[in-house]
């Protein structure tokens, strides 16, 4: 038996909790006071058609009384860690899926409770007692059906789908309602007239397996309430380490674009150093009206130095950018590795390593960018956001690079 705990409008709910005058009012969380894009919103705001990714200006047209709440990633991380730790009182078998979601394997503890409904209510009471927040809980025999169940009765809901009834319950649901089935996969399935989960049996598993491999076999079983994917209790090494930032619309000032790229470069570098990772290949991108300008570029050696990454960003702009308006920048280290030998055989590189170490120590103690390249000291318009992939857990080091 698997349970999925899903915090309802997590960031917005925290803002309403910390600001009681905002209770039951439309609240939108943005990336800082000057943020122009909505990260998430309360259910009261969603009732007006406001959604994640919407521009604040457009949202205010839909709801003039909308309350803007600048994001506070450190606060969200603090509450998330408290909630996830409290769930250990229910079962030790927990997969922290994201900052606001966790899977609980109830197999070893079912005999301690009075059925699935009892466990679900205990989970909800536990979360509320430690955080003051409401959550939705879905319980079933596999992780995909549990996640589907958690979405059925939001907010503050609970839904139990007995494993024997999972296939029947999922049959009328669109395949896109299942976690992990994106537009590309849905488009492929539509070629075979697979629109709802109940249509999946029209084709043999081998058709999906040939196209998607193991994922295809899993999708075929997911649609029938038989997801074979087990919970993962250990945090796997990252495949990428990246940061992106939405900019003021149509930014054409090269110096401003460079500041944003340098900010992201230093954040990626600090995050790599924190976990003792280095990378040689980086993905660099800028979003314009014409779409994304992007490239994969190689440093030629493994590095965790923000200056090196920033130099790659400068080269990227020189080669690909012709002055059009920029909306967003992205810097990502690809395939980071631990234990790689850095190029320290020159005096300059040794000094850079010493500077980075000293900077990390100061920033860890006094806050991110207490020490930073001079160009970044006036970066008040670039507040932090919590990374979607951030997961709280015992020993999670240094939240200052969220």
Q: Annotated active-site positions, please? A: 101
Contact by Cβ (8 Å): 149, 159: yes
Length of the chain: 402
Q: Strand, helix or coil at 12?
A: helix
Residue 132 tokens read as 């003051």
Residue 342, judged by CB atoms within 10 A of its CB (0-12, 13-18, 19+), counts as middle
Contact by Cβ (8 Å): 179, 4: no
Contact by Cβ (8 Å): 314, 274: no
**Max CA distance (Å), the chain:** 68
Q: Give the DSSP letter string of 231-276.
A: P--SPPPPSEEEEEEEEEEEE--HHHHHHHHHHHHHHHHHHHHHTT
Q: 114: which residues sit within 8 A by CB, 6+ positions away? A: none
- Can you tell me the distance from the alpha carbon of 193 to that of 201, in angstroms, rounded to the nearest whole number? 11
- Can you tell me the distance from the alpha carbon of 157 to that of 120, in angstroms, rounded to the nearest whole number? 10
Distances 24 to 27, 127, 215, 359 between C-alpha atoms, Å = 9, 20, 41, 43
Bridge partners (DSSP) listed for residue 241: 333
CB atoms closer than 10 angstroms to residue 177 = 15
Cα angle 185-188-194, degrees, rounded to a multiple of 5: 95
Q: What letter would DSSP give residue 192?
A: T
Q: Give the DSSP letter string of 342-367.
A: P---SHHHHHHHHHHHHHHHHHHHH-
Query: What secondary structure, in 3-state letters, does 82-116 show?
Result: HHHHHHHHCCCCEEEEECCEEEEECCCCHHHCCCH
């Amino acid at each position: 038996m698997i349970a999925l705990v899903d915090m309802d409008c997590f960031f917005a709910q925290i803002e309403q909790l910390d600001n009681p005058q905002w209770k039951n009012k439309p609240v939108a969380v943005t990336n800082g006071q000057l943020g122009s894009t909505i990260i998430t919103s309360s259910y009261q705001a969603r009732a007006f058609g406001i959604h994640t990714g919407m521009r604040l200006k457009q949202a205010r047209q839909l709801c003039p009384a909308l309350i803007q709440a600048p994001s506070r990633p450190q606060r969200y991380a603090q509450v998330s860690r408290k909630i996830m730790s409290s769930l250990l009182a229910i079962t030790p078998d927990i997969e922290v899926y994201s900052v606001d979601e966790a899977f609980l394997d109830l197999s070893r503890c079912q005999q301690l409770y009075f059925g699935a409904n009892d466990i679900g209510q205990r989970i909800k009471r536990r979360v509320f007692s430690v955080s003051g927040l409401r959550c939705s809980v879905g319980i079933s025999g596999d992780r995909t059906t549990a996640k589907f169940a958690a979405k059925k009765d939001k907010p503050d809901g609970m839904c139990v789908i007995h494993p024997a009834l999972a296939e029947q319950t999922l049959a009328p649901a669109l395949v896109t309602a299942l976690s992990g089935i994106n537009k590309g996969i849905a488009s492929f399935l539509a070629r075979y007239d697979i629109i709802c989960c109940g249509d999946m049996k029209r084709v043999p598993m081998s058709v999906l397996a040939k196209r998607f491999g193991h994922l295809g076999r899993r999708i075929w079983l997911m649609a029938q309430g038989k997801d074979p994917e087990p919970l993962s209790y250990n945090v796997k090494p990252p495949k990428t380490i990246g940061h992106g930032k939405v900019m003021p619309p149509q930014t054409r000032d090269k110096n401003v674009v460079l500041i944003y790229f340098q900010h992201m470069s230093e954040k990626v570098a600090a995050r790599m150093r924190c976990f003792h990772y280095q990378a040689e290949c980086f993905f660099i991108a800028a979003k314009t009206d014409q779409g994304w300008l992007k490239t994969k570029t190689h440093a030629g050696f493994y590095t965790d130095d923000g200056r090196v990454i920033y130099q790659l960003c400068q080269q990227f702009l020189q080669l690909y950018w012709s002055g059009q308006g920029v909306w967003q920048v992205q810097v990502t280290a690809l395939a980071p590795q631990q234990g790689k030998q850095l190029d320290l055989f020159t005096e300059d590189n040794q000094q850079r390593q010493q500077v980075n170490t000293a900077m990390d120590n100061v920033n860890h103690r006094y806050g991110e960018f207490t020490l930073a390249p001079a160009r970044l000291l006036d970066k008040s318009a670039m507040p932090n956001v919590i990374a979607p992939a951030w997961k709280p857990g015992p020993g999670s080091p240094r939240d200052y690079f969220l």
